[in-house]
Amino acid sequence: MSSFKDPNAFADPEDSKLVAEAKKVTSEPEEYTYTERDVILYNLGIGATEKELQWTYEGDDQFAVLPTFGVVPQFAASSGLPLDWLPNYNPAKLLHGEQYLSIKAPIPTSGELVNEARLLEVLDKGKAAAVTTIVETRDKHTGKVIFENQSTMFIRGAGGFGGKRSGNDRGAASAANAPPKRSPDAVVEEKTSPSQAALYRLSGDSNPLHILPEFAAIGGFDKPILHGLCFMGIAGKHVLKTFGPYKDIKVRFAGVVYPGETIVTEMWKEGSKVIFSAKVKERNATVLAAGAATLVDGAAKAKL
């Protein structure tokens, strides 16, 4: 087994005592069972269409899971670690900052998985805390790691506990991915549906922020917003369709998308990496920054 289970696996001498103790906490393993129906629901939730039978019809010879599905099984485990040890912790002030997904093995189209979550890094940003959790997702029966996710949350008002202010280099998971100073190598546009968030929430994120207007208003939004992991999936689908399969993908959430808006993904191929960003066409607002995916074989594939 990996050092993941070692209570000191993610210890850091620069951590404050508060953080050092919190890092020793391991969550109960969270099981996630899914069928081909869940795969199709997820694929539809990030905009796969009835013409793309490899993603929407279980009887297709090429039937497959879109790779960003990897953020779904880990979701409950990632959000299950306690954060109330942070000073002035208020879950309403939590923002999803970054997401990194590493795909370690072929993704089955149905299966039984087990997720284990740990605190990876906690930074004191003064007025806020930046908390990164790491989740390992294994096949329940073989023990093989299928996915690793790293999720960074910003909790406004929860800083001032001491310890590190800036994070360690975590390779692809923390890379800055600045777009090159040239026109994108590819641009893909996709209009989301007004019911996109209502559909995507059926893949496991039932936060009322994405469906209830009065709840969205409390958060300061004119109407319910699209899940960040949904438009990450849409951009990830654009990378896949343009350059082929990838083994990891990382994004920084930089803005909101309202269901019905058009997502424009700009992509630059740099060696085995596709750097990308996404914006909302209607408002010319950047919604994903610092994005990159590492291609499986390093070479760009022909378009699917």
Q: In this structure, is residue 291 part of a structural domain? A: yes
DSSP string, 9-50: TT--TTS-HHHHHHHT--PPPEEEEE-HHHHHHHHHHTT--T
Q: What is the mean pLDDT of the chain?
A: 94
Distance CA 174, CA 284 (A): 26
Residues 293/246, Cβ–Cβ less than 8 Å: yes
Q: In this structure, is residue 268 part of a structural domain? A: yes
Q: In this structure, is residue 171 part of a structural domain? A: no
Last residue of a domain, one of 122, 139, 158: 158
Annotated catalytic residues are 205, 210, 225, 228
pLDDT at 5: 82
Q: What is the mean pLDDT of residues 228-257?
A: 98
The string of pLDDT tens digits covering residues 43-60 is: 999 999 999 999 999 999
The string of pLDDT tens digits covering residues 243-256 is: 999 999 999 999 99
Distance CA 1, CA 182 (A): 45
Give Cβ neighbours of residue 220 (< 8 Å, ≥ 6 apart).
none
Question: Does 15 share its domain with 145?
Answer: yes
Question: Does 121 share its domain with 209?
Answer: no
Question: Does 194 share its domain with 136?
Answer: no
Q: What is the mean pLDDT of residues 140-144?
A: 97
The stretches of the chain forming alpha helices (DSSP H) are: 17-23, 36-45, 53-56, 75-78, 196-200, 213-218, 228-243
Q: What is the mean pLDDT of residues 261-288?
A: 98
User: Is the pLDDT at 102 greater than 60, yes or no?
Assistant: yes
pLDDT at 8: 86
pLDDT at 302: 45
- Count helices and strands (H / E) in the chain: 7, 10
Q: pTM, whole model, 2 decimals?
A: 0.95
Supply 165's token pair. 């202010």
User: Is the pLDDT at 29 greater than 80, yes or no?
Assistant: yes
pLDDT at 1: 39
In percent, the amount of the chain with pLDDT more than 70 equals 97
pLDDT at 6: 85
Q: In this structure, is residue 178 part of a structural domain? A: no
Domain that holds residue 231: 186-295
Q: In this structure, is residue 301 part of a structural domain? A: no
pLDDT at 79: 85
Q: Which of 72, 257, 231 is nearest to 151 (CA)?
A: 72
Q: Which of 231, 240, 220, 228 is nearest to 193 (CA)?
A: 231
Instruction: Give how many domains the chain has, as a whole number.
Output: 2
**214 CB burial (10 A radius; 0-12, 13-18, 19+):** exposed
Q: In this structure, is residue 89 part of a structural domain? A: yes
CA atoms in the 13 A half-sphere facing the CB of 62: 6
Q: Which of 134, 177, 125 is nearest to 155 (CA)?
A: 125
Question: Does 144 share its domain with 239?
Answer: no
Q: What is the mean pLDDT of residues 265-271?
A: 98
Distance CA 224, CA 185 (A): 33
Beta strands in 82-222 (DSSP E): 94-103, 111-124, 128-139, 145-156, 186-191
Q: How confident is the model at residue 40 (pLDDT cuts 50, 70, 90)?
A: very high
Q: What is the mean pLDDT of residues 150-177?
A: 94
Question: Does 43 share its domain with 127?
Answer: yes
Q: How confident is the model at residue 299 (pLDDT cuts 50, 70, 90)?
A: low
Q: How confident is the model at residue 304 (pLDDT cuts 50, 70, 90)?
A: very low
Question: Does 210 share its domain with 150?
Answer: no
User: Is the pLDDT at 177 greater than 80, yes or no?
Assistant: yes
Q: What is the mean pLDDT of residues 227-242?
A: 98
Q: What is the mean pLDDT of residues 223-250?
A: 98
User: Is the pLDDT at 93 greater than 90, yes or no?
Assistant: no
- Residue 82, domain CATH: 3.10.129.10
Question: Does 64 share its domain with 192?
Answer: no
42-80 burial, b if ≥16 CB within 10 A, otherwise e? bbbbbbbeeebeebbeeeeeebbbbbbbbbbbbbbbbbe
Q: How confident is the model at residue 298 (pLDDT cuts 50, 70, 90)?
A: low
pLDDT at 303: 44
In percent, the amount of the chain with pLDDT more than 90 equals 86
Supply 14's token pair. 């620069």
* Backbone φ, ψ for residue 115 (5° rounding): -115, 135
